[in-house]
Amino acid sequence: MAGAVLLAGCASPLIQPGAQTVDGLPLTTPLTWSDLGHRGERLWTRDGTLLNALQVYTDIEPGEHVFRGRMRGKNDEGARFRAGLSEIEISELIIEGLRASGFSNVAALDLRPARLNGHTGFRAELRYDNRDGLHYRGLLLAEGADGSLSFLMYTAPAEFYFERDRASVEAIFDSLAR
């Protein structure tokens, strides 16, 4: 019995389909997700983070790492956000962060204007390979127009999982266009 209570305490919270407010972002999700993250750095998954991950980063301040990762030292510039970056520069910053995380052949394609929570931003499609050579695809919605960076990044193996949930993730992105 005590073991069951301990295991229940370890379960990640479920995000149910419908309207949600996630760290100040009002969105609608058509799917159930497990939330493995915390405020400002959400990590949602349906089948495990290697099979699909929707990361939600909010209010990254100038000088802060794009993935809020730990730096190797005080002189490590890494992929740090700077106010006033263009959409192209923000996408390049996120690509730099993915490369620094050990991914290869990282590219952002089809960069186009979009809105995120009332702010001017952009959408893009991502492609990269993990260390084992598995091909991933992703969707990115980002904005840095308000002086801080907020973005959602969905990634999944290209073979099956990406296309399976693509329309649902695009619906989430569309719900943030207000």
Compute, in degrees rounded to 10, the torsion defined by CA atoms 84, 85, 90, 94.
Answer: -80
Which positions ≥6 away from 66 have C-beta within 8 Å?
Answer: 57, 60, 78, 79, 80, 81, 93, 94, 96, 97, 149
Reported as a pLDDT band with limits 50, 70 and 90, residue 157 is very high
Homologous superfamily of the 13-175 domain (CATH)? Mog1/PsbP, alpha/beta/alpha sandwich (3.40.1000.10)
Residue among 59, 97, 60, 63 at smallest CA distance from 82: 63
Average pLDDT value for the chain: 88
Tens digit of pLDDT for each residue in 70-80? 555 555 567 88
How much is the average pLDDT of 46-64?
Answer: 93
What pLDDT does 43 receive?
Answer: 93
* Of the candidate ranges 43-52, 54-63, 68-77, the one whose mean pLDDT is the lowest: 68-77
